[in-house]
Structures are given as structure tokens and as C-alpha cells.
Amino acid sequence: SWMLADMATQVEAARLLTHKAAFLAERGESFTVHAAMAKLAASELCVQASIQGIQIYGGYGYMMDSPMQRYFRDAKLTTIYEGTSEVQRMVISRSVLR
């Protein structure tokens, strides 16, 4: 149950980052860094949550006919498209180092 509590907390944090980026965009303010933070947090969370889901399901979660396998593959893809996690980290670190 602790894994689920951690996942729920991380989902809410990613959601709030996404809302902040959207809020800034709607106001016409610079939102690039916040969007990068939101994408990084959400995509990395997807991967970690799917790995934990596989762990929760045990041996069945690892089988190819398990939906958890598809969730993991889909989650991993989110760290690659529309800017890899490494690119998102570069955007964020440039802002932090200014």
C-alpha cells in the first residue's frame, strides 16, 4: 500500500506542475521551464509506476500477455518522444544555472 501512496503523491505533484505550466501559458508568460519540469516529472513517474505495478503483480506482471507489460512499454515511450528526459533536464538546468 505504501507503493500506491507514493504513486498517488507523485501523480499529484506532476499534475500540479502541468497545471502551473498551463496557467503560465494562458497568461502569456514564459512556461518552457515549467513545461519541461512537468514533462520530466510525469514521464519518469509513468515509468516508475509501471515498474512498481509489475512488482505488485509479481510473476504475472512480467508475462507478455499481462497489461502491465504494455503499460511499461507505453510509459517508457513517454520519456523519449517530444523531447527526451535528458533534453528536459538540459532545459531545466540551464534555467537553474542562470
Name the residues annotated as catalytic. 82
Give dist(CA 27, CA 2) in Å, integer: 38
Q: Which residue has the cell 514533462?
A: 39
Quickly tell me which residue has 503560465 as its cell.
24
Query: Which of 5, 31, 28 lies closest to 17 in space, CA to CA?
Result: 31
How far are the Cα atoms of 15, 67, 88, 89 from residue 94, in angstroms, in the given order?
A: 23, 38, 10, 8
